[in-house]
Amino acid sequence: MSALKRIENTAWLRGNSAGCRPRFRERRSCWRLVLLGPPGVGKGTQSQLLKQRLGACHLSTGDLFRAACSRVGCDPTPAMQEAKNYMRRGQLVPDSTVWDMVRERSECLHCRVGFLLDGFPRTLPQAEQLQKFLEGAMLPLSAVVEYKMPLDEIIKRLRGRRVCETCNAVFHVTSHPPKVEGVCNECGGRLYQRPDDCPASISVRMEAYRKSTSPLIEYYEDLGLLTSIDADGTADQVFARTMGALVPQARRVG
Ligand code: AP5
């Protein structure tokens, strides 16, 4: 993993934006995107591709909680311990804990290169809090991208996922295998299977998505921000579809 990637991650994952240096220094268009979609549909994978193309920072609340829960050398706060238990079971972390974590990192939402919010917001109260914050700060969203795919295909993606414990790079045992089994191509770190990718947690996560997150589709449709993308096909095909939908949308909003 490059030093710059580590610095960007530090700002979001550790809440320390003092040393944040976005990758793109020259002035480019500033994209502020929310990525929506069921667990495992490929939001994290698309975020990496979008980040390379658009230069915006990838802000994942799942990565943020995993980093906070696994930090070596400091005891997790009671709120973090509680968050860890919710995550292991596949349940959503309470809105107040999520918003506290995001608010502590609100500098990342002001970033001049924009952001890709992945896994946040996930409930209507979270979406309303975010919208209020962004309106107050005059930071309008460019678009909300909803990824869609049949459930049985999503489950195959989740069951085969492997993640680097050091740099969070994401692999898949068949569609995107590492060069050496169990070892990250990017940094040589150890690959592991997320504890919430077990069958019991997957069904709880899918139900949480259906019940709590899918209402956001209508919320963002009403705000005129929603773009729906078919997430079937290779990561590059999905990325091409996403860019094909975003560019005209960007022209519409100016
Ligand atoms: P989080 O980490 O956000 O997990 P998630 O939403 O469940 O999403 P995933 O990371 O599982 O999937 P993804 O869509 O990013 O797919 P990926 O690209 O990895 O959240 C985890 C937990 O944290 C939650 O359950 C909750 O407890 C808590 N939490 C987080 N945010 C919260 C919030 N705001 N409020 C409350 N609680 C919150 O892809 C999956 C696999 O498919 C990979 O192996 C990948 O290589 C493969 N793949 C991807 N695209 C393709 C493709 N096109 N073709 C073939 N394979 C592909």
Q: What is the pLDDT of residues 159-182, one digit of tens each?
A: 999 999 888 889 999 999 999 999
Please indicate whether residue 43 is annotated as part of the active site: yes
Tens-place pLDDT, residues 190-228 = 999 999 999 999 999 999 999 999 999 999 999 999 999
- Residues enclosing ligand 1, CB less than 6 A? 37, 39-45, 60-62, 65, 86-87, 90-93, 98, 119-120, 122, 126, 157, 160-161, 170-172, 175-176, 196, 205, 233-235, 238
- pLDDT, average across residues 10-20: 68
Please name which of 37, 29, 47 lies closest in space to residue 232, comparing C-alpha atoms.
37
Predicted structure pTM score: 0.92
Q: Which of 51, 66, 84, 122 is catalytic?
A: 122
**Is the predicted pLDDT of residue 189 greater than 90, yes or no?**
yes
**Tokens linked to 205:** 């996560």
Q: Where are the beta strands (DSSP E) in 13-160?
A: 31-36, 57-60, 114-118, 143-148
**Tokens linked to 44:** 């994290």
pLDDT at 73: 62
pLDDT at 69: 78
Instruction: Name the residue with higher pLDDT: 69 or 52.
Output: 52
Spatial neighbors of 235 by CB under 8 A, at least 6 apart, are: 42, 45, 46, 49, 175, 176
Question: Average model confidence (pLDDT) for the chain?
Answer: 89
